[in-house]
Structure 1
Amino acid sequence: MDLNGKVYYALLSGSYQSLALEELRSILDVESSYYSLDLVLDGIALFRSDIRDVKIIVDRAGFIKEVGLALAISDSYLNGDWARDVSSSLGDLEVKIDVTRFKGFGGFSELDIIKALCPRLKCRLKSSNILRVLASEGLIIAGLMIDKAKFKSLESRRPRRRPFFAPGSLDPQISRLFVNLSRLKRGGVFLDPFCGTGGFALEACSMGASRVICGDIDWAMSLGALQNLRYYECDGRVLTLISDATRIPLSEYSVDAIATDPPYGRSSSTKKRLYAELTLEFLSEAKRVAKKNSYIVYAGPYNEQPWVLARDASLNITGRFHMFVHGNLVREIVVAKV
């Protein structure tokens, strides 16, 4: 593969790589005017983009672990051209080498890489400049790390660390994923009409939404969500509603992005309404309040075929993804365009 021009790498979450890749696409849709995915390997994506600052990707992401500048690619670390390309890209920059092999790809050790590269480079044990050597699916990629995800920053927003907790709340990493898949832009208006304890609203607020609308038919949930949003100092930009998701009290074309997790599963209440009936009515309302070409992201039990509801609501389905929850539940995440 030719790496002429600026090519970036992204390290994807191993648990749900297809979701991580869609999250990368979503963020690039929002943060750049142009991008192309040049190569996708196990755990790695190479892409080109005119994004203003590639660090934005890991700042926003829930399932992307790291981004960097790709320098050289080969099918062997013994290839002299590969080592030369790495050396010419780095010049006099001091680097520390870090080797990662995905699923055992690459029959070499970190010492082998050091022996191949360090005669040409200024290798240091304590340099803050990390030269990544990544092996996957028979290829070896050298890249200069730019930034890593700071997932520890999400720890303070985990469901049991919030003032108000309810069973079934999604963790902030997954909530962040949903919001990113909705293509929320900074300064945009975000809606979650099945808001629960406010997890999606918290992440939308942290991503720079100008207005976050958090609605739930259960007054205790709405008040609990408001308590959480106040605790994390998001309440100034958030409107919390006690409202029915099938009768959203908003005007037409007033929302830029919608992400939500309708009730289903062991710990959720649908107020005696079937998941399919409730979700189809919600999608009809979501179409009314969403701006043209905006995205609606929602989930449901795989065996209920949630994607069929988007089709029945005349939405354009752009993605379907599956996430194992427990033995009796596989969550299907549907991404649809208005």
Structure 2
Amino acid sequence: MSSDLLVTKCFAILSGEEPALARAEFESILHLANFEAELTWNQNLVVFNTGKHNLAFLLFRAAMIKEAGYIIAESSALNEDIEWIPEKKLASSIQPTETFCVRTQSLVSKGMNEYRQQITNLLGTKIKHLTKAKIDAKRPNAKILVLLTSNGVKVCRSYKSDSRKKLMNKNSAKKPFFHPSMMNAQLARVMCNLAGVMSGKIAYDPFSGSGGILLELAALGAKTIGMDLNWRQLMGSKLNLIHQKHTLFSLIQGDARVPPIAQHFCDSIVTDPPYGRASSTRGSEATNLVTEFLAAIPKILKPNGMLCIAGSNKMRIPEIANDLGFKCAYHIPIRVHSGLIRDIVTIRV
């Protein structure tokens, strides 16, 4: 059996921006990868058992994982030496042709500078001796991360998330069409993960606007359907999708309350209904609009399909869902600014 398929102890460090949202995204991606794992949390660090091959899936999908990897060795004490680290495991973590660096991160104290410098030097020297690989502090191919926690020390092979940088670049990149209400790429990706969007499956945004969510649905390989009443926004979203070289999408001008979509056609729905000054509901009051839309989703989603919806807390989406007989899998409030708290809600039909 390939070493990548063997179950090993792994870790991930999540963004500290919205801890509850980051945890929910992480748990949702584990579910998508079809494995159950016992999670041990320590602030924004999570330790779990899985195959190394699943790390690539986690790092590709997640918007809120900063880095992840596997644990080479761990000790319950801050040892003055590194003799407790198996040489064979240490040597196999770095290839001779790679350049590497050793970094430390403390979750317990801002101090311990002397110990951190000591273990960095010892590990760097040891790995260089065992593998003949070269140290490169600026642009290394590989990273050894030493985590100092309340439970001791963990020496890890760490992989940085490329997805986070790509998502941030999407926000700053010039798009053919822009609207102030367009959702940023990071939050759109998180919502796609919460809804269980998968490549080749049908994903639908009934309030697609200028296409912020559509771009992430398409980026994940879903068969993407967008709908909006506003023709100008629909055409703008088409320009944005084509600009990012997406082709597997359909756009419909229509009303989310009476969607022209076949029964049980969609695997998932990800949406951000209009609210606030920058958006228009075309004369429909936002709360009533969402109520009528939610009432229609059992006809649209396949059995066991998932909806992830964002909205101002003033819209009371969780209460509306409960009144309609739905059970919210997640309800996560996030503060956008002093005047807006956004509820992220997931519902399984």
| Inter-CA distance 144–279: structure 2 relative to 1 (3 Å threshold) | same
**For residues 7 and 85 of structure 2, what CA distance do their matches in structure 1 show?**
13
Shift of 1:53: 3.9
Shift of 1:218: 1.3
Shift of 1:140: 3.2
In the alignment, is the contact (CA less than 8 A) between 1:246 and 1:285 conserved in 2? Answer: yes
In the alignment, is the contact (CA less than 8 A) between 2:203 and 2:269 conserved in 1? Answer: yes
Give the TM-score of the pair, scaled to structure 2. 0.86
| Inter-CA distance 93–26: structure 2 relative to 1 (3 Å threshold) | closer
| Inter-CA distance 51–140: structure 2 relative to 1 (3 Å threshold) | closer
Q: How does 1:33-182 map to 2 (within 5 A)?
A: 33-50=34-51, 52-78=53-79, 84-85=84-85, 87-91=87-91, 93-94=93-94, 95-102=100-107, 104=109, 107-109=112-114, 110-114=116-120, 117=123, 121-122=127-128, 125-126=135-136, 128-137=141-150, 139-158=152-171, 161-182=174-195
**For residues 334 and 187 of structure 1, what CA distance do their matches in structure 2 show?**
24
Aligned residue in 2 for 1:10: 12
**Worse-superposed segment, 324-333 or 114-123:** 114-123
**For residues 265 and 20 of structure 2, what CA distance do their matches in structure 1 show?**
31
**For residues 138 and 108 of structure 1, what CA distance do their matches in structure 2 show?**
18
**For residues 103 and 221 of structure 1, what CA distance do their matches in structure 2 show?**
49
**Worse-superposed segment, 91-100 or 313-322:** 91-100
**For residues 44 and 239 of structure 1, what CA distance do their matches in structure 2 show?**
40
**For residues 275 and 108 of structure 2, what CA distance do their matches in structure 1 show?**
35
Give unpaired runs (5+ residues) of structure 1. none
**For residues 274 and 160 of structure 1, what CA distance do their matches in structure 2 show?**
33
Q: How does 1:321-336 map to 2 (within 5 A)?
A: 321-336=332-347
**For residues 106 and 287 of structure 1, what CA distance do their matches in structure 2 show?**
54
In the alignment, is the contact (CA less than 8 A) between 2:225 and 2:249 conserved in 1? Answer: yes
Shift of 1:79: 7.3
Shift of 1:143: 1.1
Equivalent position SS for 1:20: helix
In the alignment, is the contact (CA less than 8 A) between 1:74 and 1:139 conserved in 2? Answer: yes
**For residues 56 and 254 of structure 2, what CA distance do their matches in structure 1 show?**
37
User: Does 2:229 align with 1:217?
Assistant: yes
Shift of 1:115: 5.1
Shift of 1:157: 2.9
Give unpaired runs (5+ residues) of structure 2. 1-5, 95-99
Equivalent position SS for 2:276: coil
Choose the corresponding residue for 1:198, options 201, 211, 214. Answer: 211
**For residues 103 and 175 of structure 1, what CA distance do their matches in structure 2 show?**
33
**For residues 348 and 80 of structure 2, what CA distance do their matches in structure 1 show?**
45
**For residues 345 and 317 of structure 2, what CA distance do their matches in structure 1 show?**
7
Aligned residue in 1 for 2:26: 24
**For residues 39 and 292 of structure 2, what CA distance do their matches in structure 1 show?**
39
Equivalent position SS for 1:314: coil
Residue 19 of structure 2 aligns to which amino acid in structure 1? Answer: Q
| Inter-CA distance 280–92: structure 2 relative to 1 (3 Å threshold) | closer
| Inter-CA distance 270–79: structure 2 relative to 1 (3 Å threshold) | farther
| Inter-CA distance 157–91: structure 2 relative to 1 (3 Å threshold) | closer
Spell out, residue by residue over 1:260-294, the C-alpha distance to the aligned partner (whole angstroms, 9 max, x if none).
Answer: 00111231222333322111111122221101111
In the alignment, is the contact (CA less than 8 A) between 1:168 and 1:267 conserved in 2? Answer: yes
**For residues 125 and 301 of structure 2, what CA distance do their matches in structure 1 show?**
58
User: Does 2:281 align with 1:280?
Assistant: no
Aligned residue in 2 for 1:231: 243
Shift of 1:87: 4.0
**For residues 286 and 111 of structure 2, what CA distance do their matches in structure 1 show?**
47
| Inter-CA distance 115–310: structure 2 relative to 1 (3 Å threshold) | same
Q: How does 1:261-280 map to 2 (within 5 A)?
A: 261-280=272-291
Spell out, residue by residue over 1:218-270, the C-alpha distance to the aligned partner (whole angstroms, 9 max, x if none).
Answer: 11111111121122221x21111111111111111110111100111231222
**Worse-superposed segment, 107-116 or 327-336:** 107-116
In the alignment, is the contact (CA less than 8 A) between 2:104 and 2:120 conserved in 1? Answer: no
Aligned residue in 2 for 1:188: 201
Shift of 1:156: 4.9
**For residues 106 and 143 of structure 1, what CA distance do their matches in structure 2 show?**
21
CA RMSD of aligned residues (A): 2.5
| Inter-CA distance 237–115: structure 2 relative to 1 (3 Å threshold) | closer
Equivalent position SS for 2:12: strand
In the alignment, is the contact (CA less than 8 A) between 2:14 and 2:22 conserved in 1? Answer: yes
Residue 84 of structure 2 aligns to which amino acid in structure 1? Answer: R
Paired residue total: 331
Spell out, residue by residue over 1:17-36, the C-alpha distance to the aligned partner (whole angstroms, 9 max, x if none).
Answer: 22112111212212x22131
Equivalent position SS for 1:133: strand
**For residues 62 and 210 of structure 2, what CA distance do their matches in structure 1 show?**
21
Aligned residue in 1 for 2:3: none
**For residues 16 and 288 of structure 2, what CA distance do their matches in structure 1 show?**
35
